[in-house]
Amino acid sequence: MNTARNTPMTTVTGVADHIPDKYAHPAPKRSSLVRTAWDNLPQALVKLDPRHLVRQPVIFVVWVGSILTTGLSVVDPSLFPIAVAVWLWATLIFANLAEAIAEGRGKAQAASLRQTRVDTVARRLRPDGDTEQVSGQALQLGDRVVVEAGEVIPGDGDVVEGVATVDESAITGESAPVIRESGGDRSAVTGGTTVLSDRIVVQITSKPGETFVDRMIALVEGASRQKTPNEIALSILLTVLTIVFLLAVMALQPMAAYSGQRLSLVVLVALLVCLIPTTIGALLSAIGIAGMDRLVQRNVLAMSGRAVEAAGDVSTLLLDKTGTITFGNRRAADVMPVTGTDRGELLRAAYLSSLADETPEGRSIVDFALAEGTSAVVGAGAEVPSAPEGTPAEVNSATDLLRAGAQFVPFTAQTRMSGVDLPDGTRIRKGAGSAVAAWVHDEAGHMAHDVDGAVDTISRAGGTPLVVAAQAPGMPPRQLGVIFLKDIVKPGMRERFEQLRAMGIRTVMITGDNPLTAAAIAAEAGVDDFLAEATPEDKMRLIKAEQTGGRLVAMAGDGTNDAPALAQADVGVAMNTGTSAAKEAGNMVDLDSDPTKLIDIVGIGKQLLITRGALTTFSIANDVAKYFAIIPAMFVGIFPGLATLNVMGLSSPKSAMLSAVIFNALIIVALIPLSLKGVGYRPLSATAMLRRNLLVYGLGGLIAPFIGIKLIDLLVSLLPGLA
Amino acid sequence: MPTFAVSPGLNPVLQTVLAAGLVGIIVAVLAWPLGTWLARVFLDERHWRVERAVYRAAGVDPDTEQRWTTYAVSVVAFGAVSVVGLWLLIVVQGWLPWSFDRSQTWHGAVNTAISFTTNTNWQSYAGEAGAGHSLQLLGLTVQNFLSAATGLAVAIAVVRAFARAGVDRIGNFWVDLTRSSIRVLLPISVVAAVLLILGGVVQNLASPTEIVTLSGEAQTIQGGPVASQEAIKLLGTNGGGFFNANSAHPYENPTPWTNLLEIVLVLLIPFALTRTYGLMVGDRRQGRLVAAVMATLFGAAALLTAWAEASAATAPTGSMEGKEQRFGIAWSVLFSTSTTATSTGAVNSLHESYSPLGGGLLLFNMMMGEVSPGGIGTGLYGILVMAVIAVFIAGLMVGRTPELLGKTIGRREITYAALASILMPALVLTGTAISLVLPQARAALLADGPHGLSEMLYAFSSAGNNNGSAFAGLSADQPWLNLSMGVVMFVARFGIIVLTLALAGSLVTQRRRPVTAGTMPTHTLTFGFLLVGIVLLLAGLTFFPSLALGPLAEALS
């Protein structure tokens, strides 16, 4: 089963189809569940060790019961005690199997990760500048190593010198190489990845045995798994229930004795095992492991189970605008000429000035102008300020223009403009409104009165205004108009935010844009709130304010300056492309570096909690039917009238009790797939979700065992001696 | 005497429906303003002059609030001191005026002292034989007030835990106790006592009078300050009768009118508290839901019991064994359901004589942990503990850490809530089981077979729920039963209080999480069903085997 595609989350998102195949982890293809179960059977048997079981009180009680009944069936080797003993052991093995399968899935992943951890030879830089060969395992914090093309990076670290392309497919499954360079937000490298080109110096930031890959292995193997707060609380409730059922069963013997019939120990153990919440007790840890596993399938590493649970509780989501809500690049969506300028003239000027502009914005202007009918043929429109002699007939690229003698003016932080000087001396400039205005003013040009209005209109609509001005030779420059650069909201985002809202999650868009632009995009994307001109401090303040109000906050980030906010957030997802500081600060790492995945992570967290709740409810509701099977069977000998309670019409007292025990064991197996896959989950309001799940798992839990026990009884009653 | 308010010719079940409707309307009308009053009492910043005098005398600073630990220590210490004080009073009652040489054994006195302090009011003595007027007035009536006030105080402290956020104080027990007594219980009791006297309940300090009846036999006519004790006996969900026959006695409950009044008094404060809860947490819908859940459980139990009694005999009146003619099935069933569902334990009919199923239902009312509507205060905090468990089990199914009124139910909360909810079944089952093994305890049973088991189970359920009603039949005045039931009463009462206060202490420190569409609502029909389901399921799962050997075995044989 290829769970990477089949996880129920695929149905969650509505736009999950955007998740490309590259998300599939390099782990070996998943084998069928039956096969996995078989493979993990030895592990399940190993787990029968009481030292392991004692950590799960519910299962431990079953273990004690199994020992007792086994002993009794040795003393009295008749069919009933033997059958009960066998099925109690089966119950235990099934319980262990659930956990073993869940862990086994991770083990396969860990094995493939381990291959990346082959011992590497590192070239450590000595203070004198020479290098020495040491084992990768011997590297200490702060060591600097040189890695060249074709070599494996020996440990986690930051690039402190140079730039290189790195193949990170061993970790991320993404085959396209990434660029890693010193300084900035793309300096982190992971041990086990391979440098494809160039030479870098890496400063090691992790101790041997504590590298990212080591942690990943430990995580997917479940070795470092600790019970999450919610799991602990649930275990406590289950333990307390077990205690009260133990008391109820112990109190039953004197009552039965008073009533004139001592009960056999086998019968009491059978009743106890059926009553205590074995189903959820058996599946509890499998559910937790599978939850983590579902994240791993989506290439997200949660550093703790606590974080996964917290994801389900998140009520505020901070999403960066760029790359998450909108496509990373702004695109030209319109042009607005000033009075006295023809639209075509403006388009033409915009086209020419952007030909050499290799930024996505620049290219989008070229595309837009062409789409709007600007001809590449010079002079066709004749609206260009001038179509001088010597200009080639067709200007398809910057090269054509250069060949004609034009000169490009690149963008600089000082001028905040770029443009082109045509061979005839015509100068075209485009840039931020104030920068262009300053240029026109300095050149004693003509200030168009309606530029400001257009700039304002575009800002208000969520766009970025780019003013175009031109100066014909010997004339004062004048503004031609404004290009409307628009942030394009990714398709489907509005629907996703609506789903989130229905689940009670508020989305806040974080952007460096001015409030006007931010408000427009926020409205278009349908987010609940936005934080404009956001600094890292602003983010931090926002997170703290939300938390003070009792809300749990999730955010994604990659830069070093995101680190404090990532650490403060309840769920902080660091991008794998980000800095080590960010990865250290967050409690999850997204190997695909896709901030949109935050939404999926919330869904996985919720699904984990729902699965736990659903199986608990189901498990407890099951007890009603088991009572109706066992109690009349126990006492029908002294009170024949109690046969009325045998509503299932079970064939004999012994087959009734045995059927309940068998059902109790088999239901664990039946629910293993559900506990691994997680309960089907759609974004619904809590009210709707509660109603639905109560109906399915509450009412279903009441009814299912009546049918199941009856069916088992039909089979069991065929056994001689039990009919 | 004709049955009151409903035609005697009518089917008893239908009579019960009509009678329950009448009671429901009266309780609703009265509980509404009372709930508001209760909220004002406990939110009031100022102290009455008489209260200041009490605080000065007791050396209490009424303006200092307590953490849950101090609050719990205060409750338990007050309870322990009350037990010792009451025990001494019982032991020395022979030296007090109007004692008529009535006395109790030392262990009987222990049982009585614990019983009245814990709001159980189980009586292993007969009222006419074990308690003189002085003891009734100075000891039993006083404890009737104080034990009820204690329950009310604890409930209010728990409600504060939900209403407040980010603090560690849950109120001042001494202030809550004093206000409960002076502003709530005393005034209503006075009015109720006057109404009872008007209805024919006696109120005097008369000695027993010997008369010769028409048939020539001697009979002792009892007197005493009955009405004053009767009022608080019911209002405070105490239930300890002045006379052995309790509210079946014509001097305690002479007419259908007084019977109606007594039922209303029993149900009044437990239902009013749901409104107080809603008001104090700032969401009246929460209170309404709790009231609806309580009323549903109550109504279902009453109707099923009425049906059981009606079909237990072929007579058109149904089974009248052990019931008073002046009340009939409807008013007997309503009374018995009211007192078993509220930890009152007063009786106007003999529960032992109910049909097996009817008696079993009365037993089950207690086994649900007294939450329908439960005793004064205990009912509210009992159902809130149940709500915590319900929210925890099912709340996960909405995909969030479970929360109730914005407070997260985490590890500590579920530990306290779970322990609080299993303490009672643990005590009841253990007590019953041990007693069924001990020959001296078994000798106390009147019946044998399933009915005998029901007697013992009923006794310990009554003690474990601080109910105090008796299935009769059991001769409980013997060392083992007196002392073991005394332990059960004390541990059940104060154990649950301490655990519930610990829960409150944990909740009150939490900040409130805001309500969003992702929050599981706790005021909806769905949650109502869930809460009813959890209450029934927990009681059913723990007690089904014992019920099968007692009432069910008897009913189905």
> Does the distance separating the beta carbons of A258 and B545 come in below 8 Å?
no
> Does the distance separating the beta carbons of B548 and A687 come in below 8 Å?
no
As a whole number of angstroms, the distance between CA A565 and CA A576 comes to 17
Where a domain ends, among B222, B255, B282?
Answer: B282
How is residue B204 written in tokens? 């005097």
State the pTM of this model: 0.85
Does a structural domain hold residue B369?
no
> Does the distance separating the beta carbons of A230 and B401 come in below 8 Å?
yes
> Terminal CA-to-CA distance of chain B, rounded, Å?
35
Q: How confident is the model at residue A22 (pLDDT cuts 50, 70, 90)?
A: very low
Contacts of B544 in chain A (CB under 8 A): 627, 631
Residue B447 touches partner A, C-beta closer than 8 Å: no
Residue B285 touches partner A, C-beta closer than 8 Å: no
Chain A contacts in chain B segment 417-436 (CB below 8 A)? 418-419, 422, 425-426, 429-430, 432-434, 436
Contacts of B409 in chain A (CB under 8 A): 233
Cα three-residue angle B187-B192-B197, rounded to 5 degrees: 130
Per-residue 3-state assignment (H helix, E strand, C coil) for A292-359: HHHHHHCCEEECCHHHHHHHHHCCEEEEECECCCEEEEEEEEEEEECCCCCHHHHHHHHHHHHCCCCC
Does a structural domain hold residue B471?
yes
Rg (CA), chain A: 34
Q: B118 with B253, same domain?
A: yes
> Does the distance separating the beta carbons of B548 and A685 come in below 8 Å?
no
Which of A624, A635, A687 lies nearest to residue B524, judging by beta carbons? A687
Q: B151 with B278, same domain?
A: yes
User: Do the beta carbons of residue A648 and residue A331 sit within 8 Å?
Assistant: no
Q: How confident is the model at residue A118 (pLDDT cuts 50, 70, 90)?
A: low
CB atoms < 10 A from the CB of A707, how many? 12
Would the pLDDT of A6 be above 70? Answer: no
Rounded to whole angstroms, the maximal C-alpha distance in chain B is 78
User: Do the beta carbons of residue A311 and residue A651 sit within 8 Å?
Assistant: no
Where a domain ends, among B242, B264, B282?
Answer: B282
* A695 φ, ψ (degrees, to nearest 5): -65, -45
Chain position carrying tokens 């600073």: B61
Query: What ipTM was assigned to the predicted interfaces of this complex?
Result: 0.92
CB atoms < 10 A from the CB of B476, how many? 24
Q: Which long-range contacts (CB under 8 A, 24 or more apart) does A171-180 make?
A: A171/A113, A171/A116, A171/A212, A171/A213, A171/A216, A171/A576, A171/A591, A172/A299, A172/A576, A172/A591, A172/A592, A173/A22, A173/A23, A173/A24, A173/A25, A173/A26, A173/A299, A173/A591, A174/A22, A174/A591, A174/A592, A175/A22, A178/A577
User: Do the beta carbons of residue A252 and residue B546 sit within 8 Å?
Assistant: yes
Contacts of B427 in chain A (CB under 8 A): none
Which of A229, A620, A686 lies nearest to residue B517, judging by beta carbons? A686
Residue B525 touches partner A, C-beta closer than 8 Å: no
Interface test with A, best of B392, B400, B543 (most A CBs within 10 A): B400
**Percent over 70 (pLDDT), chain B:** 98
Q: What is the pLDDT of residues B224-280, one digit of tens each?
A: 888 988 999 999 999 888 888 888 888 899 999 999 999 999 999 999 999 999 999
- What is the pLDDT at residue B80? 97
Mean pLDDT to the nearest integer, B451-472: 92
Alpha carbon A78 to chain centroid, angstroms: 54
* B218 φ, ψ (degrees, to nearest 5): -85, 140
Q: How many A×B Cβ pairs under 8 Å? A: 227
How distant, in Å, are the alpha carbons of A104, A406, B84, B511 from that of B70?
51, 87, 21, 22
Which of A549, A631, A687 lies nearest to residue B544, judging by beta carbons? A631
As a whole number of angstroms, the distance between CA A169 and CA A166 comes to 9
Would the pLDDT of B16 be above 70? Answer: yes
Mean pLDDT to the nearest integer, B286-306: 96
Q: B548 with B402, same domain?
A: yes
Rounded to whole angstroms, the maximal C-alpha distance in chain A is 120
Q: B385 with B510, same domain?
A: yes
Total domains in the fold of chain B: 2
> Does the distance separating the beta carbons of A244 and B425 come in below 8 Å?
yes
Q: What is the pLDDT of residues B468-520, one digit of tens each?
A: 988 877 888 899 999 999 999 999 999 999 999 999 999 999 988 888 888 88
How is residue A43 written in tokens? 């592990």
- To the query of whether residue A17 is one of the catalytic residues in this protein, the response is no
Q: How confident is the model at residue A223 (pLDDT cuts 50, 70, 90)?
A: low
Q: How confident is the model at residue B461 (pLDDT cuts 50, 70, 90)?
A: very high
Contacts of B519 in chain A (CB under 8 A): 504, 686
Would the pLDDT of A13 be above 50? Answer: no
Mean pLDDT to the nearest integer, B515-530: 89
> Does the distance separating the beta carbons of B552 and A642 come in below 8 Å?
yes
**Higher-confidence position of A33 and B361:** B361
CB atoms < 10 A from the CB of A661, how many? 32
Q: What is the pLDDT of residues B367-386, one digit of tens each?
A: 999 999 999 999 999 999 99
Which H or E run includes A117? none
Would the pLDDT of A7 be above 60? Answer: no
Q: What is the pLDDT of residues B397-421, one digit of tens each?
A: 988 889 999 999 999 999 999 999 9
Give the CA count within 13 Å in the CB-facing half-sphere of B160: 25
Does a structural domain hold residue B334?
no
User: Do the beta carbons of residue A303 and residue A216 sit within 8 Å?
Assistant: no
As a whole number of angstroms, the distance between CA A578 and CA A561 comes to 11
Would the pLDDT of A307 be above 70? Answer: yes
- What is the pLDDT at residue A35? 80
Mean pLDDT to the nearest integer, B37-43: 96
Going by the DSSP 8-state scheme, the letter that residue A417 receives in this structure is: E
* E-state strands within B269-373: none
> Does the distance separating the beta carbons of B517 and A502 come in below 8 Å?
yes
Closest CA to A674 of A8, A221, A129, A5: A8
Q: How confident is the model at residue B288 (pLDDT cuts 50, 70, 90)?
A: very high
Q: What is the pLDDT of residues A352-400, one digit of tens each?
A: 888 877 777 888 888 888 888 776 555 433 344 444 444 445 667 777 7
User: Do the beta carbons of residue B182 and residue B529 sit within 8 Å?
Assistant: no
- What is the pLDDT at residue B414? 96
Contacts of B514 in chain A (CB under 8 A): 315, 549-551
Q: Which of A492-501, A680-689, B528-537 has the highest mean pLDDT?
A: B528-537
Which of B430, B514, B533 lies nearest to residue A551, judging by beta carbons? B514
Chain A contacts in chain B segment 234-273 (CB below 8 A)? none
- What is the pLDDT at residue A591? 83
How distant, in Å, are the alpha carbons of A353, A417, A435, A469 from that of A438?
18, 11, 5, 11
Mean pLDDT to the nearest integer, B432-455: 91
User: Do the beta carbons of residue A252 and residue B545 sit within 8 Å?
Assistant: yes
Q: How confident is the model at residue A134 (pLDDT cuts 50, 70, 90)?
A: confident
How close A245 gets to chain B, by Cα (Å)?
7
As a whole number of angstroms, the distance between CA A556 and CA A321 comes to 11
**Percent over 70 (pLDDT), chain A:** 90
Q: B103 with B224, same domain?
A: yes
As a whole number of angstroms, the distance between CA A628 and CA A615 comes to 21
Does a structural domain hold residue B163?
yes
What domain range includes position B502?
A: 378-556
Contacts of A249 in chain B (CB under 8 A): 545
Which H or E run includes A122? strand A121-125
As a whole number of angstroms, the distance between CA B223 and CA B136 comes to 12
In sign, the C-alpha dihedral spanning B2, B7, B13, B19 is: negative
Contacts of A245 in chain B (CB under 8 A): 541-542
Does a structural domain hold residue B453?
yes
> Does the distance separating the beta carbons of A549 and B392 come in below 8 Å?
no
Cis-peptide, bond into residue B373, ω within 30° of zero: yes
Q: How confident is the model at residue A31 (pLDDT cuts 50, 70, 90)?
A: low
Interface test with B, best of A230, A242, A618 (most B CBs within 10 A): A230
Does a structural domain hold residue B482?
yes
> Does the distance separating the beta carbons of A259 and B549 come in below 8 Å?
yes
Does a structural domain hold residue B307?
no
Q: Which residues contact A82 (CB under 8 A, 6 or more apart)?
A: A73
Where a domain ends, among B250, B282, B314?
Answer: B282
- What is the pLDDT at residue A390? 44
As a whole number of angstroms, the distance between CA A35 and CA A583 comes to 36
| Residue of A156, A158, A293, A320 with catalytic role | A320
- The per-residue pLDDT of chain B, averaged, comes to 91
Q: B226 with B105, same domain?
A: yes
User: Do the beta carbons of residue A535 and residue A565 sit within 8 Å?
Assistant: no
Q: Which of A176-180, A485-489, A526-530, A562-566 has the highest mean pLDDT?
A: A526-530
SS3 content of chain A, % helix, strand, coil (to 5): 50, 15, 30
Sort B436 into a burial class: Cβ within 10 Å, 0-12 / 13-18 / 19+.
Answer: buried
- The per-residue pLDDT of chain A, averaged, comes to 83
Which of these ranges, A323-337, A604-618, A625-639, B300-314, has the smallest mean pLDDT?
Answer: A323-337
Which H or E run includes B99? none
> Does the distance separating the beta carbons of B433 and A641 come in below 8 Å?
no
Mean pLDDT to the nearest integer, B44-54: 95
Contacts of B547 in chain A (CB under 8 A): none
Going by the DSSP 8-state scheme, the letter that residue B59 receives in this structure is: T
Give the ranges where A260-277 is alpha helix by DSSP (H). Answer: 265-275
Does a structural domain hold residue B245?
yes
